[in-house]
Amino acid sequence: QEQADFFTTHDREVLGSGTLRDIPEEPVQTRHKGTRILRTKKIPIADEFGQPLYLLGISEDITERKQAEAQGARLGRILDHSSNEIYIFSADSLRFDQVNQGALRNLGYTLEEMRALTPLDLTPHTGAAQFEALIEPLRSGSREVVTFDARLKRKNGSLYPVEVSLQLSHAEAPPVFVGTVQDISARKDAETRLDRLAHYDSLTGLPNRSLFGDRLRHAI
């Protein structure tokens, strides 16, 4: 009964219009495959006097497509709200194609502005030759992931330390690099504080014996 109701829905509208009509996507319960989502087109077939004889309807099962779209949207939401910065850029031109909201917030750029940039614009202390050397193992296939530390430049010119993990995805055509970037400012600050505690007297702020020994070894 549910299937019959689905396939007769909007028949009067189609007959009244006399033209091809797109029927809204609706779920329908099937006997063997459970609930499926169908996209349907209907058109009235008329005789030589223009009187409708019957309706021709064609339904396309778009269940898998809708599920893939939903999964893609969900993945996009997850990446956008990730604590890490996500960058996708062309393996050919190196121009950014997509970045998540975390990256846009931290860098201060809009997505349109980012699409005019490459990783070299964000890493002023990394030259083109040095960057190509970093990603060459991914291009050659000798490594699946490369990880390195860098300093990214925000739109306002300020720099912050990051840890970068890069992968080359051949699932896309053309291939793209996928970068996961973690802001390690807090970690660097903690390392600096620990280093100072290890080498300076906490009361006077003067260098301690440990720092003196380190400097002496360097001098020797």
pLDDT in tens, 44-68: 887 777 777 777 888 888 888 877 7
C-beta of residue 40 within 8 angstroms of C-beta of residue 8: no
Determine if residue 86 is left, alpha or beta; phi over 0 gives left, psi from -120 to 50 gives alpha, anything else beta: beta
Nearest to 100 by CA among 114, 117, 90: 114
The number of residues making up the chain comes to 220
Looking at the whole model, is its pTM more than 0.95?
A: no
Computed over every residue of the chain, the mean pLDDT equals 82
Please tell me the predicted confidence (pLDDT) of residue 151. Answer: 92
CA distance linking residue 52 with residue 158, whole number of Å: 71
| pLDDT tens, per residue, the chain with 220 residues | 444 455 566 677 777 677 777 777 777 777 777 888 888 888 888 777 777 777 788 888 888 887 777 665 665 665 666 678 999 999 999 999 989 988 998 999 998 999 999 999 999 888 899 999 999 999 999 999 999 999 999 999 999 999 999 999 988 788 999 999 998 887 777 777 777 777 787 778 788 888 888 888 999 9
Q: Angle formed by the axes of helices 185-199 and 209-219, to 10°?
A: 90
Instruction: Give me 58's structure tokens.
Output: 């064609």
pLDDT at 74: 61
90 membership: H or E segment, kind and range: strand 85-90
